[in-house]
C-alpha cells in the first residue's frame, strides 16, 4: 500500500481497518515536510506496524519520483494531496515516465493531476487507487481536460464519489474521491453523490459508519440508484465533452413543496386579526395611564393616536 502524500500516515493506518490480512500489509509513504514525516514514523510504531513492514521517505513526490530502485507497483494507492498546489511543471517532466504518455503537464498552479498520474504510475495492473481532490479536476479545461480525456479513453477512471463539504481539517470545500484502475475491461464510470451523507458538527461535518457503509454499498452495486448513483457509459461522457461534474449524471434535485396559497392567505388574515387584537389591548392599557405632568399626558395621547392610525 502506497501513499505518496502521507502526512502523518493516518490514511494508510485507517485503510488497515478494512484489510482482510492487516498484518501482511507493507506500508510505503512519502512526505515533504520533515516534521510531519517524523510524526508519521511515530504514528506507525504507535499502531504496532513492525519496522520491516514500513518504508517511509522524506522527499518531494513530484520533483523526485520514488520508489525507483525497488518495488514500484502497489496493490493499493491512497492519496489525499494538497489541493491545487503549485509545482514546477518544468518541460523536462514531459520525458518523465509518469507523465510522458499524456503529452501535457498539470498546470503550475494546480498540481492535482500531477499527483494523480504519479499514483497511477505506481499502481499494479490489478490494483486500485483512490485519491481525494477538489471538484475542479472533474470539469476544468485546457491541459487538465486533455489528461482527463486520456484517462477516460483508457478506462482508468472507475468511479467518482462526491463528498460532503467541510469534511476535512485542511479545507471547508466539498471534495471528491476518484477511484482508478490501471487495466480493466470497459470504460464506464460510476458516479456517486454522497454530498448529503453527513452528520453536521459545530466546526466540522462527519460521515458516520452508516453513511460510509451506504457509499460502499452503492460502489459495490455499481448501478443506477435514483438521486444517489449513476453508471455512465463512455459514450455518455464523450457527449458531455469529458466533463465529469457529478450533477451532470446524478440528479439530486429536490422539488420544493408547492405553496398552498389559500392556506397562506388564511394564515395571513388570522395573523392580522391577532395583531389588531393585541394592538387594541395595548391601546386600552395606555388609556389607563395618567400623569400629573401634562407633557407626559400629551405624549401618551400622541402615541395612542399614532398606533390607531
**pLDDT one-digit tens code per residue, 87-100:** 999 999 999 999 99
Work out whether strand 123-134 and strand 175-181 pair parallel, antiparallel, or are unpaired. Answer: antiparallel
pLDDT reported for residue 255? 65
By CB atoms closer than 10 A (0-12, 13-18, 19+), residue 148 is: buried
Contacting residues for 254 by C-beta, under 8 A, at least 6 apart: none
pLDDT reported for residue 14? 86
CA nearest neighbour of 119 among 179, 54, 170, 56: 179
Alpha carbon distance 110, 299 (integer Å): 68
Kind plus residue range of the DSSP H or E element containing 28: strand 27-31
The one-character DSSP state at 298 is H
Domains and CATH numbers, the chain: 60-248 (3.40.50.150), 261-308 (no CATH)
- β-strand partners of 231: 190
pLDDT reported for residue 247? 93
- Asked whether 123 and 182 are in contact (CB, 8 A), the reply is yes
pLDDT reported for residue 64? 83
The pLDDT tens digits for 143-186 are 999 999 999 999 999 999 999 988 887 778 889 999 999 989 89
Kind plus residue range of the DSSP H or E element containing 78: strand 74-79
Task: Determine the Cα angle at 87 with ends 86 and 91, to 5°.
Answer: 140
pLDDT reported for residue 264? 82
pLDDT reported for residue 39? 93
- Asked whether 114 and 105 are in contact (CB, 8 A), the reply is yes
Alpha carbon distance 224, 269 (integer Å): 47
- Taking the model in full, what pTM does it have? 0.80
pLDDT reported for residue 256? 66
Query: What residues in the chain have per-residue pLDDT under 50?
Result: none
Alpha carbon distance 305, 309 (integer Å): 6
Amino acid at each position: 500500500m502506497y501513499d505518496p502524500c502521507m502526512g502523518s500516515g493516518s490514511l494508510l493506518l485507517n485503510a488497515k481497518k478494512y484489510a482482510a490480512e492487516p498484518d501482511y500489509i507493507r506500508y510505503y509513504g512519502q512526505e515533504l515536510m520533515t516534521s510531519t514525516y517524523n510524526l508519521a514514523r511515530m504514528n506507525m510504531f504507535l499502531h504496532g506496524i513492525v519496522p520491516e513492514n514500513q518504508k517511509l521517505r522524506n522527499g518531494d513526490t513530484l520533483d523526485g519520483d520514488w520508489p525507483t530502485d525497488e518495488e514500484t507497483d502497489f496493490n493499493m494507492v491512497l492519496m489525499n494531496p494538497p489541493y491545487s498546489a503549485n509545482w514546477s511543471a518544468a518541460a523536462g517532466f514531459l520525458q518523465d515516465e509518469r507523465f510522458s504518455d499524456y503529452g501535457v503537464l498539470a498546470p503550475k498552479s494546480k498540481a492535482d493531476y500531477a499527483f494523480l498520474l504519479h499514483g497511477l504510475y505506481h499502481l499494479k495492473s490489478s490494483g486500485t487507487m483512490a485519491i481525494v481532490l477538489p471538484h475542479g479536476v472533474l470539469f476544468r479545461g485546457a491541459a487538465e481536460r486533455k489528461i482527463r480525456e486520456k484517462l477516460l479513453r483508457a478506462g482508468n477512471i472507475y468511479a467518482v464519489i462526491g463528498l460532503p463539504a467541510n469534511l476535512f481539517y485542511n479545507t471547508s470545500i466539498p471534495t471528491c474521491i476518484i477511484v482508478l484502475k490501471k487495466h480493466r475491461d470497459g470504460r464506464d464510470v460510476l458516479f456517486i453523490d454522497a454530498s448529503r451523507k453527513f452528520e453536521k458538527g459545530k466546526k466540522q461535518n462527519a460521515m458516520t459508519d452508516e453513511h460510509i457503509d451506504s457509499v460502499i454499498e452503492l460502489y459495490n452495486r455499481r448501478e443506477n440508484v435514483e438521486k444517489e448513483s449513476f453508471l455512465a457509459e463512455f459514450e455518455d461522457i464523450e457527449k458531455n465533452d469529458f466533463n465529469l461534474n457529478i450533477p451532470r449524471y446524478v440528479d439530486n434535485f429536490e422539488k420544493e413543496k408547492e405553496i398552498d396559497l389559500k392556506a397562506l392567505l388564511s394564515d395571513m388574515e388570522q395573523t392580522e386579526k391577532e395583531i389588531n387584537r393585541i394592538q387594541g389591548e395595548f391601546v386600552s392599557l395606555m388609556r389607563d395611564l395618567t400623569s400629573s405632568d401634562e407633557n407626559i399626558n400629551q405624549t401618551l395621547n400622541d402615541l395612542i393616536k399614532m398606533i390607531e392610525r
